[in-house]
């Protein structure tokens, strides 16, 4: 008789945990998964998916404006927040049902309770039941950082609450400079809110290419987002019909809501990790090796709770690798090179590979190709937004090290660029590729002039049809 109740117990029903459970079950393992909230995790329930739906909603405002230049008359345009929230909730419920159905089909037993670790091979459910497992996987993800401590900080909302506001905020102040802060700033401005972004530093999007960091400020400002740099919030005060925000430079700003988007932290509280002395790193994340193993041989962890690369596709890949390795006898490790990333601001950002700054820090000699042009659509719409593209190339072997974009469709384009980079594409390979005309994407294969920091941008790419 097997000495364990299950082969695998998964704590957390987000993307990483669900993938690991399904694949392990497919390999013949007896799997139980515990999720105390809703299946799908942050991404599906209150992250990537609902956010992207809100992004789509916000972009209609620009489409209505642009339509006039193409001969359309769009009158009496009206936005209803309650309708958007209700329709979003329906779609999230559908997706959660799909996650549940997939787990059921795979034979995974779902437990709608909180679970904590009680031993190297034991977990305790909220109802007091103990379950023993040959292997335990922690996939509890992350949560909004609530580490601020100032008067009224509890009056601020996070990226969790923004999806469920009963009333649309006509004015909102957002503290933060990462992708979550900027995406909500853009989409709320597009929906009609007066948005002010507060940041203690002087640049946005730490870790992104410096040209992207500089240009996105101007682009977002053109779309109505206001910025206050080198300041922070000292207090939030409830004034009845509004909130008063005191900045550390003495100014008072007023808003309907204040969103604190200062990052996310690994969700390790209350998991019982200290019971078995699972090691955490300096950030409070679960420390793991390349195969997602903790210091306890029977306990593994994947996804944002490990604070490696906090993206949903990464968590899914880590969960799959774990299941194949431990239960499928097909060991493999996740590669964290050339992970494409999109920031759904307006306009959106797409990036993959090394930034120019990181590549130079590695001692590489580089060729930089970049362009800035007015997209074809803007010639009739009159919109002032421009497309920016940058390719970072290693002089030693002509390999493309990084692609960084701002403009419509950047996320879609950079996904394709990632494929090329992962098979070792060179700049010559890009140059040999036939352009698709007319498109913004053709610029990625028609760039020829090298750019230096002391030279102006190439004149060939200043209008909507640069390839002609």
What's the token pair of residue 445?
Answer: 């294969």
**DSSP per-residue codes, 45-113:** HHSHHHHHHHHHHHHHHHHHHHHGGGT----S----HHHHHHHHHHHHHHHHHHHHHHHHHHTPEEE-S
Q: Which two tokens stand for residue 146?
A: 């609530």
Q: Which of 83, 84, 63 is nearest to 74 (CA)?
A: 63
The catalytic residue among 62, 164, 404, 437 is 437
Q: How far apart are CA 346 and CA 57, in angstroms?
A: 12
Let me know the angle formed at the C-alpha of 275 by 306 and 272, rounded to the nearest 5 degrees.
55
Tell me the C-alpha distance between 260 and 151, whole Å. Answer: 14
Contacting residues for 39 by C-beta, under 8 A, at least 6 apart: 13, 18, 96, 99, 100, 103, 110
Contacts of 227 (CB under 8 A, 6+ apart): 196, 197, 199, 217, 220, 221
Whole-number Å distance between alpha carbons of 303 and 309: 8
320 annotated active-site: no
User: Looking at the annotation, which residues are catalytic?
Assistant: 437
């Amino acid at each position: 008789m097997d000495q364990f109740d299950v082969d695998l117990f998964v704590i957390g029903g987000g993307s990483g945990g669900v993938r690991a459970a399904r694949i392990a079950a497919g390999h013949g393992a007896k799997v139980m998964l515990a999720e105390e909230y809703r299946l799908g995790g942050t991404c599906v329930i209150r992250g990537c998916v609902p956010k992207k739906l809100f992004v789509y909603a916000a972009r209609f405002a620009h489409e209505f404006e642009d339509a006039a230049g193409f001969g359309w008359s769009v009158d009496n345009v009206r936005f209803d927040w309650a309708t958007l929230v209700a329709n979003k909730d329906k779609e999230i419920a559908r997706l959660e049902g799909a996650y549940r159905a997939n787990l059921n089909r795979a034979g995974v037993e779902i437990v709608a309770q909180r679970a904590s670790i009680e031993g190297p091979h034991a977990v305790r459910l909220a109802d007091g039941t103990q379950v023993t497992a040959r292997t335990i996987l922690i996939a509890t993800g992350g949560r909004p950082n609530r580490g601020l401590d100032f008067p009224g900080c509890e009056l601020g909302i996070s990226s969790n609450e923004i999806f469920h506001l009963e009333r649309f905020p006509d004015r909102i102040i957002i503290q933060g400079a990462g992708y979550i802060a900027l995406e909500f700033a853009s989409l709320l401005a597009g929906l009609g809110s007066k948005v002010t972004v507060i940041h203690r530093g002087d640049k946005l999007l730490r870790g992104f290419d410096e040209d992207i960091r500089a240009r996105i400020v101007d682009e977002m400002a053109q779309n109505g987002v206001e910025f206050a740099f080198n300041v922070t919030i000292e207090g939030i005060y409830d004034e009845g019909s509004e909130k008063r925000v005191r900045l550390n430079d003495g100014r008072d700003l007023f808003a309907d809501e204040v969103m604190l988007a200062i990052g996310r932290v690994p969700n390790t509280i209350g998991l019982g990790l200290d019971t078995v002395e699972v090691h955490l790193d300096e950030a409070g994340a679960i420390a793991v090796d390349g195969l997602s193993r903790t210091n306890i041989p029977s306990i593994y962890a994947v996804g944002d709770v490990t604070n490696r690369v906090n993206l949903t596709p990464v968590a899914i890949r880590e969960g799959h690798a774990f299941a194949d390795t431990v239960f499928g006898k097909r060991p493999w490790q996740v590669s964290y090179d050339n992970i494409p990333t999109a920031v759904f601001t307006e306009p959106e950002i797409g990036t993959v590979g090394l930034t120019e700054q990181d590549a130079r820090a590695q001692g590489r000699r580089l060729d930089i190709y970049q362009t800035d042009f007015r997209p074809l659509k803007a010639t009739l719409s009159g919109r002032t937004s421009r497309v920016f593209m940058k390719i970072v190339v290693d002089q030693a072997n002509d390999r493309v090290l990084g692609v960084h974009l701002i403009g419509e469709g950047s996320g879609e384009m950079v996904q394709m660029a990632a494929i090329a980079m992962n098979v070792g594409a060179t700049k010559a390979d890009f140059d040999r590729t036939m352009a698709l005309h007319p498109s913004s994407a053709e610029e990625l294969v028609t760039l020829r002039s090298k750019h230096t920091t002391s030279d102006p941008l190439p004149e060939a790419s200043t209008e909507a049809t640069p390839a002609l």
